[in-house]
Amino acid sequence: MKFDTLVLGGGIVGVSVAVHLQQRGLSVALVDRKPPGNETSFGNAGLIQREGVYPYAFPRDLGKLLDYARNRSLDVRYHPTAMPSLAPFLYRYWYHSRPDRHATIARSYATLIEHCVSEHRALVEVAGAGALLRSGGWLKVFRTARKLDEETRAAERSHAEYGVTFETLDAVQLRAAEPFLSHALLGALRYTGSDSVSDPNALVMAYARLFERLGGHILIGDAETLEPQWAVHAQSGRVEARSVVVAMGPWSDTITARLGYRLPLAVKRGYHMHYAAEPGARLNQPVLDVESGFLIAPMVRGIRLTTGVELGLRDTAATPVQLEAVEPIARQLFPLASRLDATPWLGRRPCTPDMMPIIGPAPHHKDLWFAFGHAHHGLTLGPITGRLIAEMITGEQTIVDPYPFRVDRF
């Protein structure tokens, strides 16, 4: 089996890359050990974050750092045994999070973010997946005036600098929008320019079906069998191609390291659980409880509760203590009924210390391309990343300048 391009990784980024390449007339094989959308892309909040121009920074406030050091925070937990391995990454993350450096990063990052909604909508339309997409934004809700004021100032800055649209809701307006949320809330911010989806896994599968309709091939195989220049072993046999795109999310460094690239990739782990709503209760849009560090979202399966960040090694066993800690608070926020999943789902977000993805050609191998490291915004940036990589591979004028996301910046 011979193709123009192999795409390694069946998450939202890999599938989006495969679709865009196939649309441009290349013959493409998408290779993963599981069917598309069943690893990191399976479990997330379902947000397409047009407002996310400032990537999530490492806290630099001493009080916040001391709070996290106690390892009892609701939004961030860590595995003490992992800290020696993670310390070099975390130091670089902290370094890049200084406000002036973070602002510089945002200017590059925003060039991707500004296309996230439009690029998803374009794929949703041709994939026939409109039933999965919700427009109208999502909510940050607040219990204290101090936090509401702080977040409002940040939203105003994003609006002034990058055109992010939002509206403020007082307690009465919030109850009208979401009547089943706790009446103890003081108000909310709604990011009106963002979209969300009711089943991220189903969206990836819809894009994968589009890829197949365009003539692409989805193969079950082991990407770690990659051989220069270029072949992998799939269940159906040896697969060869002129070029390869590594889009394996948190597992990408298993390939890149073997090829000689020492990239600073780490993971932020997170959990989710689905719940039934109490009879008659309804949630209309995703809701982030800012002060408690969790999000609830209406999904096809039920109300999905997602946790914040767990810092640990990628393959360490699940330790869903954050989920247990925030579930009682989530039940106060919204009338959740019984759990619907047998066990909490664990996902791993692939992260770089400068908070930007790695998108572009490998400097030391011909026809090797990287597309990973999207952290919290994998779903958000999948389609625009797919378009950018496809444009670079085919020699088109790129929709954004790829230079800030180059591999050799590290």
DSSP output for 66-111: HHHHTT--SSEEE-GGGHHHHHHHHHHHHHHTSHHHHHHHHHHHHH
Do 270 and 174 lie in a common domain?
A: yes
Please report the pLDDT score of residue 221 as a whole number. 96
CATH of the domain at 388: 3.50.50.60
Residue-number span of the structural domain to which 77 is assigned: 56-97+138-193+266-351
CATH of the domain at 305: 3.30.9.10
The pLDDT tens digits for 2-24 are 999 999 999 999 999 999 999 99
Q: Show the DSSP H helices in 97-162 as ranges.
A: 99-113, 116-127, 145-162
Give the residue carrying structure tokens 């400032």.
54
Do 295 and 347 lie in a common domain?
A: yes
Do 307 and 347 lie in a common domain?
A: yes
Q: Is residue 104 part of a domain?
A: no
**What average pLDDT values come out for the chain (410 residues) when binned by 10 residues?**
97 98 98 92 94 95 91 95 97 97 98 98 98 97 96 97 98 98 97 98 98 98 93 95 98 95 96 98 98 97 97 96 97 98 96 98 97 97 98 98 97
Provide the residue type at 365 as one letter: H
**8-state DSSP, 402:** -
Q: Is the pTM of this model over 0.75?
A: yes
Q: Is residue 67 part of a domain?
A: yes
Cβ neighbours around 60 below 10 Å, total = 13
Do 257 and 364 lie in a common domain?
A: yes
Q: Is residue 103 part of a domain?
A: no
Please report the pLDDT score of residue 3 as a whole number. 98
Give, in degrees to the nearest 5, the angle at Cα 387 between 383 and 388.
Answer: 115
- Distance CA(145)–CA(187), nearest Å, equals 9
Do 337 and 218 lie in a common domain?
A: no
Do 359 and 329 lie in a common domain?
A: no
Give Cα separations from 392 to 207, 369, 372 (angstroms).
Answer: 21, 10, 15
Q: What φ, ψ does residue 323 adopt, rounded to 5°?
A: -60, -45
Q: Is residue 186 part of a domain?
A: yes
Q: Is residue 90 part of a domain?
A: yes
Do 159 and 236 lie in a common domain?
A: no
- End-of-domain residue from the set 318, 351, 384: 351
Among candidate residues 183, 153, 200, the one with its CA nearest the CA of residue 54? 153
DSSP output for 375-397: GGGHHHHHHHHHHHHHHHHHTPP
Do 162 and 78 lie in a common domain?
A: yes
- Distance CA(41)–CA(230), nearest Å, equals 26
Do 273 and 382 lie in a common domain?
A: no
Give the residue carrying structure tokens 């409002």.
152
Among candidate residues 131, 135, 139, the one with its CA nearest the CA of residue 177? 139
Give, in degrees to the nearest 5, the angle at Cα 40 between 49 and 57.
Answer: 50
Please report the pLDDT score of residue 43 as a whole number. 87
Please report the pLDDT score of residue 122 as a whole number. 98
Please report the pLDDT score of residue 301 as a whole number. 96
Among candidate residues 351, 361, 350, 354, the one with its CA nearest the CA of residue 410? 354
Tokens at residue 327, please? 């579930």
